[in-house]
Amino acid sequence: MLATALTASQAGHLVTYQLRFGGAALDIQSSGAHEYFLAPAKTAIGVVALAMLAALFVVGFGRIAAGRRLQADSTTPFVRTLATVYSLQLAVFVVQETAEALLGQGHPASVPALLLWGAVGQLPVALAAALAWRWLGARVRPAIAAIRCALTVRPFVPAVSPIVLAAPVYVWTRDRLRFDFTRRGPPTS
């Protein structure tokens, strides 16, 4: 959750600057003490997007392997997840803005201004991150269990074997990995 909050804070940083400075936001973030910001922010957001796609792939493959919709695990309550992610994001934003102001030989913004702009930019991103965290967190573990169950192998023992095999031969069971491709047509009236 800490890595999610750190990455989401950078997305929230982008949102905050876009709301605060409008069209000049990218110019401000690519010069002075903010010069470092855009490349790591884009990279972090890309890594999170890749991780989410991988988790969605695991959930989808788990559903295919189970042949049915999977039951979600219990997770932490949504409000607790949102509060944790939002608090971490806001703290990272305040520390980052203060450090950038000090490195740029400027003076940091006031605490109320940092908290206000941080709240405006970080809250929507924290909401999206908490929703994604809860939804994926509740479904990835059952999907992995379904994939493991589907990929178990049983030793193959022939019905009549005149020769004893020195090493066991394993085969995939057909009933474990089932793909249901049914043809659907329009509903009948």
Residue 189 has pLDDT above 70, yes or no: no
Residue 185 has pLDDT above 70, yes or no: no
pLDDT band at 184, cuts 50/70/90?
Answer: low
The larger pLDDT score, comparing residue 34 to residue 53, is at 53
pLDDT band at 176, cuts 50/70/90?
Answer: very low
Contacts of 189 (CB under 8 A, 6+ apart): none
72-101 residue pLDDT tens: 887 778 899 999 999 999 999 898 888 888
pLDDT band at 19, cuts 50/70/90?
Answer: confident
Tell me the pTM. 0.65
The larger pLDDT score, comparing residue 69 to residue 152, is at 69
**Distance of CA 138 to CAs 16, 35, 56, 101, 150, Å?**
30, 38, 12, 40, 20
**Amino acid code (one letter) for 184:** R
Buried/exposed 54-85: b ≥16 CB within 10 Å, e otherwise: ebbebbeebbbbbeeebeeeebeeeeebbebb
* Per-residue confidence (pLDDT) for residue 24, from 0 to 100: 73
Residue 53 has pLDDT above 50, yes or no: yes
The mean predicted confidence, pLDDT, of the chain is 78
**Amino acid code (one letter) for 157:** V
pLDDT band at 177, cuts 50/70/90?
Answer: very low
What is the C-alpha separation between 99 and 70, in angstroms, rounded?
46
What is the C-alpha separation between 28 and 13, in angstroms, rounded?
12
* Per-residue confidence (pLDDT) for residue 157, from 0 to 100: 59
Q: Which residues, in sequence order, are bridge partners of residue 154?
A: 171
112-153 residue pLDDT tens: 888 888 899 899 999 998 998 888 888 888 898 888 888 876
